[in-house]
């Protein structure tokens, strides 16, 4: 058994045991928030109950029967009316009455293909009723044609459509659908190689790419199609490995879901692939990490796992709009002990969930967040949800340092910035916070006064003022020692003596200057809410060298 399969069995065992203890609702399901979780948990429970080599803490026959019951109820919630506009679909949220829940376009996109995989692996252990129910559901998915969409956005939806075309084309011997899927696959490969992926760092979406194409690859019999699927999966894992640091995805995210920010929690596929962190108890997105696997290229895994030398990753992301292409630029500085960086440009992403920047610490402490960042609240923000940034921030990234200035207009209802910091040893000063988080020192300098609150898994910071700014510099303890800072106290003294200079240099102009531990001068100047200038060592930042 390979280490990958060992880790997958660990996930299957953990989730199956959890499912066996999950209270069953009066209607016979486990969850109402998302129908897919009923399917995922039942899949794991059934797989563990059917495989005598997997150690479990429950009666196999009893739990196999429970899993079968859950699966049957999920399948029965499919819209099987050919005259319906949602034919072949399932509802997503099941509240308050599952049988009355309206079908939703999302569940079948990924769940439909995963159902085919599950059926292919475990059909011999199915009851006749479950076998028939799956076969019936597949026919309605195929005839419902949800996947017959043109390639337009080249995002996670099309990735799932393309995989479904291949999977259901083969299942129903539809050669035209198979060809459509292969054509879509080749178009996707070309787009990734020329323009890259625009869904940067968005783990729900990225993992749907990986699962959809891994599912298609696993089921595919045609050598030519399988080779193209392999090329696409290689590209996906190379992309993932560039931004990987011990269970985390460093830098900017197009989406900052609650399980991605301010703690990397969507980690199961990472755990199987890399295995260099402890599998956490909480697993908010189980999906099919315990079943599907594609080994990343060797050099990609080497990139991800060997961070002994600091690395700068510069990437250009192209968003195609009706007015023409928009280029975004992502920067990350990754070391063995921490990472820093983000997106130079603010962009209004889905649900205003662009996560602009952070300092990332590896997943070591399960009881603490692992990201440190500040932001000005924007649309969608509410207290306790540290996401949804506004457009009134300008940034500079250089190695281990992030600088951000805020020019907040009177029209904004939020006249303050918010910060979150991981648990650790923190010392609060009037204009700064100095921390030791695991084996990383963090210096946080603020332009305006602040208040902070120690919560269960973080420090929550609030600093008021419509003109504001923050400078964060991180360094490993061993780095600090090489610079003569042989204790936390000496680190604090050195950082106090090297505070940034915030200044209003003219009407409507705000500036911050800072010398990093590399003795490199950084300067960020903003001219009102819409224009800024970033300089490193006196040179204005440009984006030459940022590649797809």
Q: Is the dihedral of CA 292, 294, 295, 299 positive or negative?
A: negative
Mean pLDDT of 48-65: 96
Report the SS3 class of residue 291: coil
- DSSP H helices, 195-282, are 203-219, 223-242, 268-273
Q: What is the pLDDT of residues 62-105, one digit of tens each?
A: 999 999 999 999 999 999 999 999 999 999 999 999 999 999 99
Reading phi first (left if > 0) and then psi (alpha if -120 to 50, else beta), residue 352 is in: left
Task: Check: CB of residue 260 under 8 Å from CB of residue 355.
Answer: yes
Hey, what are 158's tokens? 């099309």
Hey, what are 440's tokens? 């990383």
> Full-prediction pTM beyond 0.85?
yes
What confidence score (pLDDT) does residue 531 get?
A: 85
Q: Which has the closest alpha carbon to 459: 386, 381, 356? A: 386
Hey, what are 429's tokens? 């000063």
Q: What gap in Å lies between CA 461 and CA 454, rounded to an integer? A: 9
Give 533's DSSP letter.
Answer: E
Q: What is the pLDDT of residues 158-186, one digit of tens each?
A: 999 999 999 999 999 999 999 999 999 99
Mean pLDDT of 308-312: 97
Hey, what are 78's tokens? 């499919």
Mean pLDDT of 315-321: 95
What confidence score (pLDDT) does residue 284 get?
A: 92
What confidence score (pLDDT) does residue 518 get?
A: 85
Mean pLDDT of 138-146: 98
Q: What gap in Å lies between CA 422 and CA 365, rounded to an integer? A: 9
Full DSSP string of 428-489: EETTEEEEEETTEEEEEEESS-EEEEE-SSEEEEEEE-SEEEEEEEEEEHHHHHHTT--SHH
Percent of the chain past pLDDT 90, that is, above it, reads 95
The CA-based angle 155-530-379, given to 5 degrees, is: 55
Mean pLDDT of 21-40: 97
What confidence score (pLDDT) does residue 514 get?
A: 98
Cis (ω within 30 of 0) for the bond into 333?
A: no
Q: What gap in Å lies between CA 138 and CA 136, rounded to an integer? A: 5
C-alpha 209 chain-centroid distance: 12
Mean pLDDT of 394-414: 96
Residues linked to residue 468 through DSSP beta bridges, in sequence order: 406
What confidence score (pLDDT) does residue 528 get?
A: 73
| b/e burial code for range 29-58 (CB count within 10 A of at least 16 → b) | bbbbebbbbbbbbbbbbbbbbbbeebebeb
What confidence score (pLDDT) does residue 504 get?
A: 85
Mean pLDDT of the chain: 96
Residues linked to residue 432 through DSSP beta bridges, in sequence order: 429, 445
Task: Check: CB of residue 280 under 8 Å from CB of residue 264.
Answer: no
- 512: pLDDT strictly greater than 90: yes
Q: What is the pLDDT of residues 195-248, one digit of tens each?
A: 999 999 999 999 999 999 999 999 999 999 999 999 999 999 999 999 999 999
Task: Check: CB of residue 234 under 8 Å from CB of residue 226.
Answer: no
- 155: pLDDT strictly greater than 90: yes
Task: Check: CB of residue 235 under 8 Å from CB of residue 192.
Answer: yes
Q: What is the pLDDT of residues 447-478, one digit of tens each?
A: 999 999 999 999 999 999 999 999 999 999 99
Question: Helices 128-144 and 60-76, interaxial angle, to 10°?
Answer: 30
Hey, what are 44's tokens? 């794991």
Mean pLDDT of 438-445: 98
Mean pLDDT of 375-395: 95
Residues 6+ apart with CB under 8 A from 341: 250, 251, 252, 313, 330, 331, 332, 333, 357, 397, 402
Residues 6+ apart with CB under 8 A from 366: 278, 280, 281, 282
Q: Which has the closest alpha carbon to 50: 109, 106, 130? A: 130
Mean pLDDT of 339-345: 97
pLDDT grade for 530, boundaries at 50, 70 and 90: confident
pLDDT grade for 322, boundaries at 50, 70 and 90: confident
Q: Is 256 exposed, middle or buried (0-12, 13-18, 19+ CB in 10 A)?
A: buried
Mean pLDDT of 266-286: 96
pLDDT grade for 31, boundaries at 50, 70 and 90: very high
- 403: pLDDT strictly greater than 80: yes
CA dihedral 248, 185, 199, 233 (to 10 degrees): 10
Cis (ω within 30 of 0) for the bond into 483?
A: no
What confidence score (pLDDT) does residue 466 get?
A: 93
């Amino acid at each position: 058994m390979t280490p990958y399969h060992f880790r997958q069995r660990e996930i299957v065992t953990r989730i199956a045991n959890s499912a066996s203890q999950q209270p069953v609702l009066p209607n016979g399901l486990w969850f109402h928030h998302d129908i897919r979780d009923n399917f995922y948990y039942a899949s794991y429970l059934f797989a563990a109950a059917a495989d005598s080599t997997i150690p479990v803490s429950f009666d196999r026959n009893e739990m196999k029967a429970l899993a079968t019951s859950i699966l049957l109820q999920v399948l029965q919630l499919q819209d099987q009316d050919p005259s319906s506009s949602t034919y072949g679909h399932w509802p997503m949220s099941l509240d308050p009455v599952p049988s009355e829940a309206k079908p939703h376009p999302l569940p079948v996109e990924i769940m439909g293909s995963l159902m085919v995989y599950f059926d292919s692996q475990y059909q011999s252990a199915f009851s006749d009723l479950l076998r028939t129910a799956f076969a019936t559901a597949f026919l309605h998915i195929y005839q419902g044609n949800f996947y017959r969409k043109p390639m337009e956005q080249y995002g996670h939806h099309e990735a799932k459509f393309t995989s479904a075309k291949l999977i259901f084309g083969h299942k129903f011997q539809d050669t035209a659908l198979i060809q459509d899927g292969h054509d879509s696959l080749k178009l996707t490969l070309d787009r990734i190689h020329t323009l890259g992926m625009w869904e940067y760092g968005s783990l729900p979406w990225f993992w749907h790419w990986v699962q959809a194409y891994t599912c298609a690859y696993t089921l595919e019999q045609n050598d030519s199609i399988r080779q193209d699927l392999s090329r696409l999966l290689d590209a996906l894992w190379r992309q993932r490995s560039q931004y990987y640091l011990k269970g985390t995805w460093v830098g900017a995210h197009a989406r900052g879901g609650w399980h991605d920010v301010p703690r990397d929690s969507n980690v199961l596929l990472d755990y199987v692939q890399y295995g260099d962190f402890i599998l956490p108890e909480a697993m908010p997105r189980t999906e099919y990490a315990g079943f599907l696997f594609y080994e990343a290229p060797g050099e990609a895994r080497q990139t991800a796992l060997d961070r002994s030398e600091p690395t700068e990753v510069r990437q250009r992301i192209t968003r195609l709009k009706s007015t023409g292409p928009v280029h975004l630029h992502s920067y990350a500085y990754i070391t063995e002990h921490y990472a820093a960086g983000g997106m130079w440009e603010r962009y209004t992403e889905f649900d205003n969930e662009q996560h602009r920047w952070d300092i990332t610490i590896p997943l070591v402490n399960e009881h603490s967040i692992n990201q440190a960042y500040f932001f000005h609240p924007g649309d969608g923000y509410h207290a306790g949800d540290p996401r949804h940034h506004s457009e009134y921030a300008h940034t500079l990234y250089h190695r281990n340092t992030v600088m951000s200035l805020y020019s907040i207009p009177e029209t904004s209802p939020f006249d303050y910035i918010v910060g979150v910091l991981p648990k650790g040893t923190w010392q609060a000063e009037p204009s700064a916070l100095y921390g030791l988080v695991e084996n990383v020192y963090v210096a946080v300098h603020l332009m305006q006064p602040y208040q902070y609150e120690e919560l269960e898994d973080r420090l929550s910071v609030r600093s008021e003022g419509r003109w504001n700014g923050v400078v964060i510099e991180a360094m490993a303890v061993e780095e600090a020692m090489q610079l003569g800072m042989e204790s936390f106290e000496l680190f604090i003294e050195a950082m106090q003596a090297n505070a940034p200079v915030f200044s209003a240099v003219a009407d409507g102009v705000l500036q911050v200057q800072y010398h990093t531990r590399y003795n490199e001068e950084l300067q960020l100047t903003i001219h009102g809410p819409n224009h800024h200038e970033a300089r490193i060592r006196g040179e204005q930042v440009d984006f030459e060298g940022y590649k797809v």
